[in-house]
Amino acid sequence: MAVYTYAGKTTDGKKVEGVIRAADKGAAQAELKKKNVAAATLSEQRGGKGKRGLFGPPRPHVRTKDIAVMTRQLSTMISAGIPLLESLEILHEQASDPGFKNALDKVIERVRAGSDFSTALGEHPKLFTRIYVNMIKAGEASGQLDVILQRLADYMEAIEELKREIRAAMTYPVISLFLILSITVGLVVGIVPKFQEIFIQMQMTDLPLPTQILIALSEILRNHFIETVIVCVVVFVAFVLYIKTKSGQRQWHWFCLHMPVFGPLFRKVAISRFSRTFATLIQSGVPMLGALDIVASTAGNVLVEEAVLKAKDAVARGETLGDPLAATKVFPPMVTRMIAIGEKTGALEKLLLKISEFYDQEVRATVKALTSLIEPLLITVMGVIVGFIVLSIFMPILKIQQTLSKT
């Protein structure tokens, strides 16, 4: 749809101006006539139909944080009594990303044509997830769209904050490991060959084993650097392709939940996400079976997904939710018992939110503990590597000194 700028007067003589979207100029004039506006000027905005890239319309580049802000703004406008279509038009006007602006334009067009808001959003799955669309659908059915949008914004902000904390905790060890590897390669490639030349000049053939290993590693990196890089890239690509297969993904996700140090953190994050997502959906009026189906598809871990789907099948057969979740051994007893109590008391969503809040705090505590543990661990790794290099270089020199002192 094109975007037109207009200026004119209403039937009571009040001057008005603004923008309007329509298929063409005639449709824009008809729309203004419906609003009782006599347009003095009506001109199409440049780029009103959306900028097109080299390969078609621009793709949206928005973060979850941006969607959460938009959702909160939409909730505020609707609760203030502004109609949905007008609210969407305001959001469209203030959108800065061309791709996102184009997507909103299509949503507005569908809503103006009489489509449900949730249906219009469902046509953009890369922007609006299944959770988002289904909660909007529940909000439309219950007539509490502004409340549901508020919950959605709270949910998205909580998930994003958790991700941000984990990323911040992982940044330090990743950078430190990169620096350690860079320093190690620099020492092996730059310093070791100089000592190797000294050993050759002194005709030292009977070198200690650590020195032989270090020299062999140095020669491989210097003489076969490209081949080494290619092998590393091939191994990495093969690993990525393998974990994308069904069996590979399951093994990798199992390892993530059971690996030393980081395994408990990943498990707590998965439980927190499950609890918050499930509670938000139930709270918003999404039926339990539909909510379980959505939670499973957005779990982010195959083992959690399988456990939730098994529980869903049991619920469909008339069983309770707590027992089949406990049988999977994926969820801790505290979680499954609280869910069982929530079912009996009719306060399932409240207890799920309590579980989520508890595990959010656990994740933060674990992240802090890991951060304090990783620093000395990385210093120890660095010390061991540098110590091995220094020891490997000086062992032959010490051997020469011992030989000279005997003579």
In sequence order, what are the residues at sequence separation of 6 or more whose Cβ sits closer than 8 angstroms to the Cβ of residue 116? 137, 140
Query: What φ, ψ does residue 6 adopt, rounded to 5°?
Result: -130, 160
Cα 45 to Cα 239: distance, rounded to the nearest angstrom: 50
The predicted pLDDT at position 50 comes to: 47
Sequence-distant contacts of 327-334: CB under 8 A, at least 24 apart: 330/257, 330/303, 330/304, 331/271, 331/274, 331/307, 332/271
For the purposes of burial, counting CB atoms within 10 Å of the CB of 356, is it exposed (0-12), middle (13-18) or buried (19 or more)? buried
pLDDT at residue 117 tops 50: yes
CB 340 within 8 A of CB 323: yes
Mean pLDDT confidence for 9-15: 76
Which residue from 71, 76, 80, 151 is spatially nearest to 117, judged by alpha carbons?
A: 71
**Share above pLDDT 90 across residues of the chain, in percent, rounded to a whole number:** 7
Give me the torsion for CA of 148, 154, 156, 161, rounded to 10°. Answer: 180
The predicted pLDDT at position 251 comes to: 92
> Six-digit token pair at 203?
């005709």
For the purposes of burial, counting CB atoms within 10 Å of the CB of 264, is it exposed (0-12), middle (13-18) or buried (19 or more)? middle
In sequence order, what are the residues at sequence separation of 6 or more whose Cβ sits closer than 8 angstroms to the Cβ of residue 21? 1, 2, 3, 4, 48, 89, 92, 105, 108, 109
Give me the torsion for CA of 202, 207, 211, 216, rounded to 10°. Answer: 90
Looking at per-residue pLDDT, the higher value among 396 and 18 belongs to 396
CA angle 298, 303, 309 (to 5 degrees): 65
Say which range, 55-64, 187-196, 215-224, 350-359, has the weakest mean pLDDT. Answer: 55-64
Q: What is the DSSP letter of 320?
A: -
The predicted pLDDT at position 1 comes to: 57
Residue type, 307: A
pLDDT at residue 49 tops 50: no
CB 52 within 8 A of CB 58: yes
The predicted pLDDT at position 15 comes to: 76
> Six-digit token pair at 322?
């707590």
Pairing assessment for the beta strands 15-22 and 2-10 based on DSSP bridges: antiparallel
Cα 391 to Cα 393: distance, rounded to the nearest angstrom: 5
In sequence order, what are the residues at sequence separation of 6 or more whose Cβ sits closer than 8 angstroms to the Cβ of residue 18? 5, 6
> Six-digit token pair at 82?
């502004």
40 CB-side CA count, 13 A: 11
The predicted pLDDT at position 233 comes to: 94
330-344 pLDDT per residue, tens? 888 888 899 889 888
Residue-averaged pLDDT of the chain: 83
296-313 pLDDT per residue, tens? 887 778 898 889 999 999
Mean pLDDT confidence for 182-198: 84
